[in-house]
Amino acid sequence: MAGRTFIVGSRGSRLALRQTEIVQEALRRLHPSAAFQVRTIKTAGDRTTASLNEIGGRGVFVIELERELLSGGIDIAVHSLKDLPSQETSGLTIAAVPPREDARDALFSRDARTLAGIPAGARVGTGSPRRAAQITALRPDLVVADIRGNVDTRLRKVEEGEYDAVVLAAAGLARLGWLHRAAQVFEAGEMLPAVGQGALAVQVREEDSEIRSLVSAADDAATRAAVTAERAFEKRLGGGCHAAIAAFGEREAGRLRLRGLVGAADGTLLRGETEGPAENAERLGVDLAERLLSEGASALLEAAV
């Protein structure tokens, strides 16, 4: 690896570049003789102002990066894990999931009001059916409105009065040094996070054993177990970009606690929880999904199509 420069692919937003910098810093600590060069790639999701539901869901933020990775244009791709569909792309693998940042959701509002303090009829922006369902469950008197754009854009739209508040990932604010601007950070019991929220995925070509070895040293076992369970939960449910699906895994002392949720636009929420050995993370996710399906999650998912 000495003397070789590895090309790292990243989206070009401020947050994406900061996330890529975090991964590079970790890899440099592990491999001081290796060099890394960032190549920014504009994805389909970056080139449109349409809603995620209209343009095909989360995968629009990763397709071009994955193509470049498969073709050899880049050696490593850094993603927000929640942007990656639960079905991995053939020929690629997530070689490392570094330690997770805060997985919770945060509220940014004018006048720094919490969700409880926002007046009835206020416009709360989110592009996520998951957040929309949970906001509606907490405050059915608010207007949940679709919003697009990176973190900077969303905050500006609130400051300019287009929205009264916006809900977004606490991790993004934290990585940009802006978490202090949040009026409220929701506990998981109030608003369950998205699958993989707060975690990064470092993706490589499956057949490239040298790069896999280099990157896998940055993997965090506790985060890997948690997101493995979350992604298995989502995959078994089979929900698309319209579905309100949430899951959050927490590993402690070899045990993994997994909470899951399926919701609907009217604020109907179906919740479940399970716990077991961390090494059974995937099975825990599948089992919890099957339990919720048996309790009526199918109807909620079908209504979201």
Q: What's the pLDDT tens digit per position in 71-102?
A: 999 999 999 999 998 889 999 999 999 999 99
- Whether the domain at 1-100+200-219 and the domain at 220-305 fall into the same CATH topology: no
CA 28 to chain centre: 25
**Is pLDDT above 80 for 149?**
yes
- pLDDT for 89: 94
Residue 3: predicted pLDDT: 65
Class of domain 1-100+200-219: alpha beta
pTM of the model: 0.92
Q: ∠ at Cα 254 (248, 256), nearest 5°?
A: 20
Domain residue limits, the chain: 1-100+200-219, 105-185, 220-305
> Would you please indicate which residues are annotated as catalytic (active-site) residues?
83
At 166-220, the pLDDT tens digits run 999 999 999 999 999 999 999 999 999 999 999 999 999 999 999 999 999 999 9
Question: How would CATH label the architecture of 105-185?
Answer: 3-Layer(aba) Sandwich (3.40)
Closest CA to 74 of 20, 117, 30, 28: 20
Report the DSSP beta bridge partners of residue 39: 9
Q: Is the torsion defined by CA of 245, 256, 84, 144 positive or negative?
A: positive
Decide yes or no: CATH 3.30.160.40 for domain 220-305: yes
Q: What is the mean pLDDT of residues 146-162?
A: 95
* pLDDT, position 240: 65
Question: How would residue 55 be classed by pLDDT, with cut points 50, 70 and 90?
Answer: very low
pLDDT digit string, tens, across residues 242-290: 789 999 999 998 999 999 999 999 999 999 999 999 999 999 999 999 9
Among residues of the chain, what percentage have pLDDT more than 90?
86
